Amino acid sequence: MIRTARDGDAAAVAALQSHLSAPSPRLLATVGALGRCLIAVDGAGERIAPSERPGTGGRPVGYVLILGESDTHLAELVVHPDHRREGYGRALLDAALDRQAPGTRMTLAVAADNDPARSLYESAGFEPVGRRPEFYESVCGCTDEAVVYAYDVPEDDDQS
């Protein structure tokens, strides 16, 4: 289940962020003013279907940070290593895209050598639009280069 982050999620989100190769705690501290955070929860302890209890759920196992109001930037997407390859990353990405208005654009940057993330974004329809050398700090253990991707949300055909 995907839900909007709540105040009580701060510690869990900070712990999840530590699994990124180049975490930015300062970004987390400002996301409330600059954008939004969506949380993937594992559903532990659910007794009623999530659709019947919006905003509830188990412990956070991943999150996505989206910056901006119309055209947006996906700043971070992370899933706890114990829950990778279970569909949480795709669910977070889909939820972020579903919240975009028709005709808007979402961008993101990903390390050039992060093949699993690049595969996820490309499978969702993101296309590479550029590269940024030395985008990441070299202490992250990855290439410094980032590939910039963009996704243009289709126009709503029902409004024609």
Between 88 and 140, name the one with better pLDDT.
Answer: 88
- Asked whether the beta carbons of 100 and 126 are under 8 A apart, the reply is no
- CA-nearest of 59, 106, 97, 99 to 79 is 59
Query: Which tens digit of pLDDT belongs to each residue from 94-148?
Result: 999 999 999 999 999 998 888 999 999 999 999 999 998 877 665 555 558 889 9
Average pLDDT over residues 47-60: 50
CA–CA gap between residue 6 and residue 130 (Å, rounded): 34
Q: Where are the domains of the chain?
A: 2-159
Range of lowest pLDDT (1-5, 87-91, 101-105): 1-5
CA–CA gap between residue 79 and residue 88 (Å, rounded): 7
Looking at every residue in the chain, the average pLDDT score rounds to 81
Q: What is the CATH number of domain 2-159?
A: 3.40.630.30
